[in-house]
Amino acid sequence: MDVIAGLLNGPRADGAFLLRSLLTPPWSLRVQDRAPLTLVAVISGTGWVVPDSGAPTRLQPGDLAILRGPDPYVFADDPATAPQAVIHPGQRCMTPDGEDLGDMRTLGTRSWGNAPDGATVLVTGTYQVLSEICAPLLAALPPLAVLRDGECDTPLIPLLAAEVSRETPGQDAVLDRLLDLLTVVALRTWLARPDVETPAWYRAQDDPVVGTALRLIHDDPAHPWTVAALAEAAHVSRAALARRFSAEVGEPPMAYLANWRLALSADLLRDPAATIASVAERVGYGSAFALSAAFKRVRGVSPKEHRERAAREAGPVAEVRAWRVAV
């Protein structure tokens, strides 16, 4: 597994929120759902995305907006249009005064808006929860990244637009996987732009020595890696590997390995059926005590406390699943 595959394995739609919006002016939606990552594809018509901090950006057909949470933003036909709806965590939709929404309504399966024949059609995919291992990827993104029509050369956008309003057996799984694929393509396209300052871990994949070490760590984090073992696999000395890895990635190889293992642990602990001991074995710690000590030292909470917090955060996802069944 290369470094990009390892990090992009993080975005996994599971109960992600997917919606087709059908809109006619005037329309304005304030989004304050605190979702970590949202993709909005403009299928037809135009619109503006207005971050709370930052200049308004006009979107046209074929454009794809990538929004990194949790900061709020507004989607509107015009930056001057006052919000008519506010999207809260759990995709609860209300008026700006806090009342149940009246003007916007359900217009079919996963379809919503103020006009069934609205000229503006948006397809939105929202990740309610993201894997811990994609934190470096999110940190590399600006709050708003826009890929213009043709820049993200993929048939996935029209395919997702065609599939989002269908209701057939297994359709939720189909949509989740399409969103995952689109997310990977979009992020890869963004990071490949010449005007984007890519993070160190992204550039390091092209280094023949450091890239080899990264792939080994990602492929088998439970292996008892040492600097010597990684250096031997990369056909360099220990000193050369340590020096080049630190220069390219920004931290020593053993520190990177430890952080990668703990990020994987944080994800695995979300499974209530997984014991701390089983997670420790899967990520290369000798015992549950060893993992707990490292987890507490680096993350400031115990594995048990992390699991309880993750369960609380999963509450809005359950609400989204219920909403999807209702429509």
Q: What distance in Å separates the CA atoms of residue 110 and residue 103, rounded to the nearest whole number?
A: 17
Confidence band (pLDDT; 50, 70, 90) for 324? very low
What is the pTM (predicted TM-score) of this model?
A: 0.84
Give the model's pLDDT for residue 106: 78
Kindly tell me if the per-residue pLDDT of 39 is higher than 50. Answer: yes
What confidence tier does 67 reach under pLDDT thresholds 50, 70, 90? Answer: very high
pLDDT band at 26 (very low <50, low <70, confident <90, very high): very high
Residue count (the chain):
327
Query: Is the bond preceding 70 in cis, omega lying within 30 degrees of 0?
Result: yes
Which structure tokens are listed for 326? Answer: 């209702």
Nearest to 145 by CA among 93, 89, 73, 76: 73
For 116-155, the pLDDT digits (tens) are 999 999 999 998 877 888 888 888 899 999 999 989 888 9
The full DSSP string for 231-291 is HHHHTS-HHHHHHHHHHHHSS-HHHHHHHHHHHHHHHHTTSTT--HHHHHHHHT-SSHHHH
For helices 171-191 and 156-163, angle between their N-to-C axes, nearest 10 degrees: 150
* CA distances, 34 to each of 19, 59, 66, 128, 185 (Å): 17, 22, 14, 8, 23
Nearest Cα neighbor of 174 from 190, 163, 189 is 163
Strands 105-106 vs 111-113: parallel, antiparallel or unpaired: antiparallel
Do 12 and 131 form a contact (C-beta atoms < 8 A)?
yes
Lowest mean per-residue pLDDT among 179-188, 197-206, 227-236: 197-206
Q: Can you tell me the distance from the alpha carbon of 219 to that of 197, in angstroms, rounded to the nearest whole number?
A: 27
Question: Three-class SS of residue 220?
Answer: coil
